[in-house]
Structure 1
Amino acid sequence: MVRSYLIAFVLAVAAIAWIASGELGLTADSGNGSVAEETAAAAGNAPPEEAAVPSVRTRVSTAAPYRERVIVRGRTEAVRQVDLKAELPGRVSEVMAEKGSRVTKDQPLVRIALDDREHRLQEARATLRQREIEHQASSSLNKKGFRADASLAQDRAELDAARARVKAMEVELDKLLITAPFDGVLEERWVEIGAFVDKGTQIARIIDEDPFLIVGQVSEANVGRLNVGDVGGARLATGQVVEGRIRRIGSSADPETRTFRVELEIPNPQHRLLEGVTADIAFEVGTSDAHFITPAILTLDAAGTIGLRMIGPDGRVVFQPVQILGDEGEGVWVSGPPPEAELITVGQELVAAGDQVRVVREQSGS
């Protein structure tokens, strides 16, 4: 028991002596700075009173001209496409263009057999010649007073009817040859030789390839910023990048999405564009000053507003709300900060608006 008390007493005395030696050391060195300060200086750190102030890294950003764009999702679309249908029933006697081939205006595509139509046309022409002779004779007799005016009028009516029948037969024969209505590509052909078609049967589909359209739906908030003739560009899912001008802006909104159809017309002389390809469309709407930054330095305030933390004129942290205008490469363009702003690039999540901080400014190009 006595031994235990002795050990405790010795340990207590040793602790008191160690604490006292530390206080004496601090007093003795007061003229040249504390031991803690010397240790911090030797390690390259700030003195204890400065260490309490958080450090942040900053970069001075200067605004640059940014071409504002309205970006929407869309797709490619042919300017026009037509499904050709049979106007008369009959058997397909000839096909003159293969599916996928390019055709020119009025090029024959499919022919329907004449059957007895040629004979009926010959009959109609023979009847017409007879009516012409009869009308000529009737007119001569009428001039001599041997033919009444009523009979002459009847002969004239029969002649006109004969002419109408011939014309109708000629038009009918023309309808048996189905031709391309414009230059394009024969996208589909649904009939082969020997197939029987009825009136209204689909024969072929022609797509006009030049120019092409890229169509998108623009919101109510942005459609007023666009005008017919404005420049626009698109990046297709195929990797193609194209440029054109706005051809048409819809006059009424889609009742479900409240968006407006906008058509961007793209020249396609080489026929490289395909229909139905997804595209990101960008319409240029003006130029403004903006900052190009890495998205990593964007942050939120307590209210959930997106912005940047930067150094204000008094050296304290300021939260600056921003509007993201667009993305490009590895960064984004934002508006909101003044033309020249010292943005916090490292440590922005550890400080708040109004904090006093120690600034370590990035070197130019770092």
Structure 2
Amino acid sequence: MRLKSSYLFAAGLLGAVVLYFVIAGIFGGGGEKAGQAKANTAQRSDTPTVQVVTAPEIVREYTVNLRGRTEAARAVVVRSETAGVVAATPVAEGSYVRRGAVLCRLNVDAREATLAQARANLRSRELQQKASADLAEKGYRSQTQLLQDQANLDSAAASVRQAEIALEQMNIRAPFDGVFDRRDAEIGTYLSPGQACGTVIELNPLLIVGDLAESDAGKVKVGATATARLVSGETLSGRVRYAARDADAQTRTYRVEVAASNPGQARSGLSAALHIGAGTGPAHRVPVSALVLDADGRQGVRHVLPGDVVAFTPVTVLEETPEGLWISGLRGEARVIIVGQSYVAEGQKVKVAAAR
């Protein structure tokens, strides 16, 4: 029996509807999953990625770093004690001298003759006193005369000593080992008492002096170890011998002096980078690029806490080295952000990648 065309049309329409729903079920479910996948991908793409380095906590000596300059430990203007004309200048200006070296010699004039006369008078008084003593023992000289002769002998001895001192004052000598840095008198110069022959400076030990900021003044103690790298390339080591208690009225800084051994005779007046020990404590080494400023202008680092959440910690730079900065302020092992730290905020969740 042949079906009518209307039945065939209805059956075809029904089949088309069934086929539509089958296809919609297949592709519609896949589209929903794809949409969910896209949403998850978009959500993941909103979480920033940062690169970190793991910085372990290390116990390290803290140092106070400042700019300084070298100074002579002592500088003395050597002056004449008597009047006279300079007869000789045995020491070359700028040369090293030992304590007692003659820097300027004055004309002795009649001082040698005065000394010779005083010594002759002393010998005479000695003979006179001896004769008086012998006569006194025999009863031919009174005790008063004996005492007078002894007084004359003592006076003659004092005159000899006075003449010897006057003659010695013709030699103007170095008061300590050092450098005869400047001559103020030449041969033929007349020096009155108190006028300068020249200046002697002591360079070993050498002082390295600097000015401590108020924030560092309490960290530096007398006796603390210190090193100084001079602009000339030399490195000196020593200890703090003086730390001021009263600030400079103009700069509000505190003077500190380090006495350092100076076998190479480094010069006075050189600029120096001074590093003074200030105890020990925890420290971390981070790249210079890790430092950032927070909204309040504080210097610090951003690091990642457990749970991959960003935190900011203010830090203090202890020392700058070719390998990075030593800082204090962090505690324990820290994952410090070195790439992307300027684009994340405290409390934000991030994806963490190791530094390349």
TM-score by length of 1: 0.78
> Partner of 1:49 in structure 2?
43
Establish whether residue 346 from structure 1 lines up as the match of residue 343 from structure 2.
Answer: no
Matched residues in 2 for 1:225 and 1:300: separation? Answer: 25
Q: Distance in 2 between matches of 1:159 and 1:338?
A: 84
Query: Which runs of structure 2 are paired with 1:280-299 in the superposition (5 Å)?
Result: 280-299=273-292
Distance in 2, matches of 1:318 and 1:251, equals 39
Q: Distance in 2 between matches of 1:147 and 1:332?
A: 94
CA distance in structure 1 between the partners assigned to 2:286 and 2:152 by the alignment = 87
Q: How does 1:69-80 map onto structure 2 within 5 Å? A: 69-80=63-74
Indicate how the Cα distance of structure 1 residues 284 and 172 shifts in structure 2: closer, same or farther if over 3 A, else same.
same
Alignment of 1:209-228 (within 5 A): 209-218=203-212, 222=216, 225-228=219-222
User: Does 2:279 match 1:278?
Assistant: no
- Partner in structure 2 of residue 143 of structure 1: 137
Cα distance in structure 2, aligned partners of 1:336 and 1:132: 84
Corresponding residue number in structure 2 for 1:15: none
- 2:238, 2:261 within 8 Å by CA — same for their partners in 1? yes
Residue in 2 that maps onto 1:179: 173
**Once the two structures are superposed, what CA deviation does each residue of 1:312-346 show, in whole Å capped at 9, x if it has no partner?**
22323222232322222363222233422223323
Q: What is the distance in 1 between the residues matched to 2:330 and 2:189? A: 72
Q: Unaligned regions of 5+ residues in structure 2, if any? A: 1-26
Q: Write the distance in 1 (CA, Å) between the matches of 2:219 and 2:315.
A: 21
Q: Is the 8 A contact 1:61 1:291 kept in 2?
A: no
Counterparts of 1:183 and 1:283, CA distance in 2: 28
TM-fit CA distance, 1:205: 1.7
Aligned-pair CA distance for 1:350: 2.5
Give the aligned residue type for 2:167: L
**Superposition deviation, residue 290 in structure 1:** 2.2
Match of 1:315 in 2: 308
Q: Give the equivalent residue in structure 2 for 1:335.
A: 328
* Alignment map for 1:217-296 (pairs within 5 Å): 217-218=211-212, 222=216, 225-246=219-240, 248-250=241-243, 252-254=245-247, 256=249, 260-271=254-265, 273-296=266-289
How many angstroms does 1:206 deviate by? 1.9
Quote the Cα distance in structure 1 between the aligned partners of 2:296 and 2:253.
Answer: 30
Structure 1 residues 233 and 146: CA distance shift in structure 2, 3 A: same
1:42-121 to structure 2, matched below 5 A, reads 47-51=41-45, 53-65=46-58, 66-121=60-115
Indicate which of 307, 318, 322 corresponds to 1:325: 318
What per-residue deviation string (whole Å, max 9, x for no partner) do you get for residues 19-59 of structure 1?
A: xxxxxxx979826736x95xx9xxxxx933333x1423221
Q: Which moved more, 1:302-311 or 1:233-242?
A: 302-311
Please report how far the alpha carbon of residue 96 of structure 1 lies from its aligned counterpart in structure 2 after TM superposition. Answer: 0.8
Q: Assess if the C-alpha contact under 8 Å between 1:54 and 1:351 holds in 2.
A: no
Who is 2:196 aligned against?
202
Aligned to 1:356: 349
Cα distance in structure 2, aligned partners of 1:350 and 1:224 = 37
The one-letter code matched in structure 1 to 2:185 is: V
Deviations 1:143-163 (A, max 9, x none): 343433323322222222122
Does 2:153 match 1:159? yes
- Within 2, Cα distance between the matches of 1:353 and 1:174? 80
* AA of the residue aligned to 1:309: R
SS of 2:70's partner is strand
Read off the aligned partner of 1:361 and give its amino acid letter.
Answer: A
User: Kindly tell me: are residues 323 and 126 of structure 1, through their superposed partners in 2, closer, same or farther at Cα, counting changes over 3 Å?
Assistant: closer
Q: State the one-letter code of the partner of 1:71.
A: N
Identity %: 37
| Residue pair 1:63, 1:289 contacting (<8 A) in 2 also | no
Determine if contact 1:58/1:342 at 8 Å carries over to the other structure. Answer: no
Give the 3-state SS of the residue equivalent to 1:239 in structure 2.
coil
Secondary structure of 2:43 counterpart: helix
**8 Å contact kept, 2:55–2:286:** no
For 1:10, the equivalent position in structure 2 comes to none
Distance 2:123 2:315 in 1: 87
Equivalent residue number for residue 14 of structure 2: none
Aligned residues: 327
Q: Tell me how large the CA RMSD over aligned residues is.
A: 3.0
Measure the CA separation in 2 of the matches of 1:258 and 1:303. 25
- Corresponding letter in the other structure for 1:172: A
